[in-house]
Structure 1
């Protein structure tokens, strides 16, 4: 029996597949309460590393006999130390999270959402450690478009290479404030066009294609269409994407369990009216059979048995609390009264996405650590 590494990708697949896993998180209590590994099949326990330096005897009775044990810490070193002690004390195989919670934060799990017309397909990239969702639409001839790419561009490029795809377009639904966009890097590495709503781009320091209401982008000889629908409220430029008349990528305007927050640029009172119009007028007038694909999810319960996060628009108008408030004043109070704490380093992330600053890779990792906070919460 021995100490064994487990990659974030391996762990992510276990979580998606609902495989049983026991996580011993040895970060400090505050970090654990703020953000931890979750999933339907995940049981976790927190015991800070500094409490285990002299030995692990006090926690041995808490370790399950019938589940794999994974020890996790911030970067890796502490988890290896503790996991090795458990191996020596129990004679069991014990895993440590390779790369620590940093690697969990940056891992993407590619899940097929479904087939598109004319032989195409749509994929969702689930970032379990951050709750980010991004998308690649693929045409029959291999042309592809990506929407709301994260900065983990190597993982998209690996997917593109393995599937013999040609990336033609990279679209951001809005100027993100909780994670760093990978769209410009993908443009540099693939030659794809980068699209961004112009109303969110007034301060950007780079060239882009204006992604405006009514814009139609096509991929493939037997075309798959991506149509822009202006839907402000989370930002002044937020623009949704209808793919193949079947899927509605909502960015951070509408989620499966909540609605977007309008305050990340300090404009909550100004933008809440735009948010309401986008939800209660623009979206209400769309085909209610469209499958809503948000840019984020908040809880693993939103991930279905196939690893996907989506719901029909009509269902959300019956079940999502943010869509069940007909009175405008009550809606304003609901939104402005339920704003969670701002995302970590959100101002610096916005400046990075504008091209005003260019932090080094380690700084970018630290800027994004923790849960997403793009939704109104109760």
Structure 2
């Protein structure tokens, strides 16, 4: 089941454009595409479309304006493979470029709505897990963020909701005859603005966060959980599992044979251990009831992550379904388009389970990707230390999440 209610199923202006949902399908299938980005270089470098079969090329729109006068639009893309998908911020400049290219006989389509529409695409599919609940997986292709709606009886819970799409979860629960009971974060996110506070304010859902978020400066009212705490949900039970490492407070949540691992374990790697050492976190620590002693440097965090993986996750049965909080281009979706895997398969696929602690720490702390865009400010917002409006929140989280260490 796939819901694309916030986006047209397909573009309505013919072959000259491609809707975000259709582009997501093609990227997921690994289709080879040339993505022509006509934004300025700094915008392109900050964030651009990527994928297994994608070659991303930046040619500023001004060059197409010049080419319109000279008739040389085809020359600008002479070295590019077709088909071409052109993108810009809102879909207007790229539409102009596409019109020139198509007039020159080049197979090109415009991403309808541009990168804004791409960031606004949110897909939902049912995760077939055999659990005592219906589990819906929400997928934001622009960042790889995953959230989950769990419905059991007349109660529902959402895990790692995004503020930008907060209205979607309660509506989906109501469509299934349930009320949203809990809005849960597995940890203090650094890559996207959490929807937990927003959902608690606009529905009867209870905000739920890890207890150790208080040590990081949590500044809003929420129910906090420690290892082993349980949340009754209709005919099911959610159990908190302490899995520190990506952050000190990280929790995973088990639902029968399903483990929602947040940013601890992914299908293609593990959570990076260095995101708490930011200026924003130091500021948060200064407000905390018990300021930390500086022991949360990356190697120490990586050792905690290693222990969490070895003793809290990998010791579980092979049939445990791992439902991660993110995915990257390296992750392969299941046949139904969802992202999840048997723990036994991940043991065989990933290197981390076979590494010694020293090997793991070295791998997890070296050659890390750039930090998520605006991570320090996002952390402050998610702790309740700063309030931002919806437009600002949306802008803060644009770009790749970069929360993983590739295996």
Q: Aligned equivalents of 1:2 and 1:253: distance in 2?
A: 43
Q: Aligned equivalents of 1:234 and 1:14: distance in 2?
A: 32
The correspondence of residues 120-269 of structure 1 with structure 2, limited to 5 A, is 120-139=133-152, 141-151=153-163, 152-202=165-215, 203-220=217-234, 223-243=235-255, 245-266=256-277, 267=296, 268-269=298-299
1:3–1:87 CA contact under 8 A, matched in 2: no
Q: Which residue of 1 aligns with 2:99?
A: 84
Q: Aligned equivalents of 2:330 and 2:405: distance in 1?
A: 17
Q: Which residue of 2 aligns with 1:71?
A: 86
1:17–1:307 CA contact under 8 A, matched in 2: no
Q: Aligned equivalents of 1:307 and 1:35: distance in 2?
A: 24
Equivalent position SS for 2:169: helix
Q: Which moved more, 1:18-27 or 1:362-371?
A: 18-27
Q: Which residue of 2 aligns with 1:318?
A: 348
Q: Aligned equivalents of 1:180 and 1:18: distance in 2?
A: 29
User: Aligned-pair distance for 1:52?
Assistant: 1.6
Q: Aligned equivalents of 1:91 and 1:231: distance in 2?
A: 52
2:374 alignment partner, one of 328, 345, 358? 345
Equivalent position SS for 1:50: helix
TM-score (norm 1): 0.87
TM-score (norm 2): 0.81
Deviation readout 1:135-165 (Å, 9 max, x if unpaired): 11122x3421110111221333443454444
Residue 50 (structure 1) aligned with residue 81 (structure 2):
no
Q: Which residue of 2 aligns with 1:276?
A: 306
2:39–2:88 CA contact under 8 A, matched in 1: yes
> Which ranges in structure 1 are unaligned for 5 or more consecutive residues?
none
Name the Cα RMSD after superposition: 2.8
Distance 1:270 1:213, change over 3 A: same
Q: Aligned equivalents of 1:13 and 1:71: distance in 2?
A: 17
Equivalent position SS for 2:265: coil
The correspondence of residues 26-41 of structure 1 with structure 2, limited to 5 A, is 26-29=38-41, 31-32=43-44, 35-39=47-51
Residue 330 (structure 1) aligned with residue 347 (structure 2):
no
1:318–1:324 CA contact under 8 A, matched in 2: no
| Count of residue pairs the alignment pairs up | 369
